[in-house]
Amino acid sequence: MASDAHPEIELSSIKTFPVHVAIVMDGNGRWAKNKGLSRSEGHRAGGEALDRLLDFVVTLPIPFFSLYAFSTENWKRPVSEVQALWDLMNEFFEKRVDHCIQKGIKIRASGDVSKLPLLNRKVLKRVIKKTENCSHLTVNFCLNYGSRDEILHAAEKIMQERLEFYKNGQKNKAEESITEEEFEKYLYTHPIPPVDLFLRPGGEKRISNFLLWQSAYAELYFTDKLFPDFDQNEMLKALAWFEGRDRRYGSLSE
């Protein structure tokens, strides 16, 4: 587990970067409460922190950045908060799309986006299309995303495929074992590689149904900073900590 006690860190001192970083943007509500603001205002501050963070991450040699923006469980929040989050996302995408193109940020989504409000689906489709040729950084917005849902969805897809083989008389193919590679093809995140660095600001030390399969060998970094305060320097601390990890993947150190 990481501590907050690092001094300021120079970017030039970091030599090894993760390929895929994932972040749980937690703590917006508490940040707002501490300031006597509404939860929606906390999410707005989270959106602004995200803006600044993306502008920094795109300057780093990190090709993939996944964000837990709305979980399959977030529907249980009050309707007004859910609506405020969807409105904020539309606003964020509309405002940022040209900036993303300019910076080379490609937007994509993971999750069951068919359940999003109609306007969000339209806006999302438009930004994905508009940024499809950007190649510096892929920002993967996880929307109506939950790992259990994703894994069940993949299992169902494979079951349907096997049934098709049966129907076509291809019994051998229908009875083939499922490989990890085949399974991964059906994950919402495909073809993004596994998570190397999993970040959770906000003080909680849990994964909360986020990228469970993809984070099998991720390094887990927790900090008490609330997401609206998670800035460039916090990101540098996490990266410096990551560089010091000995990643063995179940094997032994060299």
Residues catalogued as catalytic: 26, 74
Cα–Cα distances in angstroms (integers) from residue 42 to residues 34, 49, 139, 163, 187, in the given order: 10, 10, 22, 48, 31
**What is the rounded CA–CA span in Å between residue 215 and residue 21?**
10
- Type of residue numbered 82: V
Taking CB under 6 A as the rule, does residue 209 contact ligand FPP? no
Taking CB under 6 A as the rule, does residue 97 contact ligand FPP? no
Select from 2, 14, 88, 151 the one that contacts ligand FPP (CB under 6 A).
88
Taking CB under 6 A as the rule, does residue 89 contact ligand FPP? yes
Which residue, judged by CB position, is nearest to ligand FPP in the bound state? 29
Taking CB under 6 A as the rule, does residue 111 contact ligand FPP? no
Specify the stretch interacting with ligand FPP by CB under 6 A; choose among 28-36, 161-169, 177-185, 237-245: 28-36
Specify the stretch interacting with ligand FPP by CB under 6 A; choose among 5-13, 14-22, 87-95, 104-112: 87-95
**8 Å CB contact between 22 and 220:** no
Select from 20, 28, 137, 218 the one that contacts ligand FPP (CB under 6 A).
28
For helices 39-57 and 232-243, give the axis angle rounded to 10 degrees: 60
- Type of residue numbered 65: F
Give me 127's structure tokens. Answer: 């930004």
Between 81 and 243, name the residue whose CB sits nearer to ligand FPP.
81
Cα–Cα distances in angstroms (integers) from residue 212 to residues 143, 146, 187, in the given order: 15, 9, 11
Between 46 and 146, name the residue whose CB sits nearer to ligand FPP.
46
* Among 151, 157, 128, residue whose Cα is nearest residue 140: 128
Binding site for ligand FPP (CB under 6 A): 25-30, 43, 46-47, 50, 69, 74, 85, 88-89, 92, 141, 202, 227
